[in-house]
Structure 1
Amino acid sequence: AKAAVAAGADGLLIEVHPNPKEALVDGLQSLTPSDFARLMKELRRIAKSVGRYI
């Protein structure tokens, strides 16, 4: 996701689940809500550095 934002991607698909271990599908690739919040903070900084916003 970070590289995609830095490269100018217009969209991301990020899976979030309150308990990824209990998700019926895609649990291994899902983020917890708190991990998602941390990622979004980082993505906003990256986007700003390349003249974009999220």
Structure 2
Amino acid sequence: PSVEEEVKGLTKATIRCLPSEEFRSPQTPVKCVSGAGESVTEVAWARSY
């Protein structure tokens, strides 16, 4: 499964946005949240209640 599907299955969180350059972290994340490899892009996750 994709990382998004994996995270959604574990936490019920989904990707809410892909932040533009000015809102990204000062240091680019190097590891994917799944732990399966390097990160490709930075995203904001959230869960709807």
TM-score by length of 2: 0.23
More helix by percentage: 1
TM-score by length of 1: 0.23
Higher RCO, 1 or 2 (CA under 8 Å, sep at least 6)?
2
Rg: which structure is higher? 1
More strand by percentage: 2
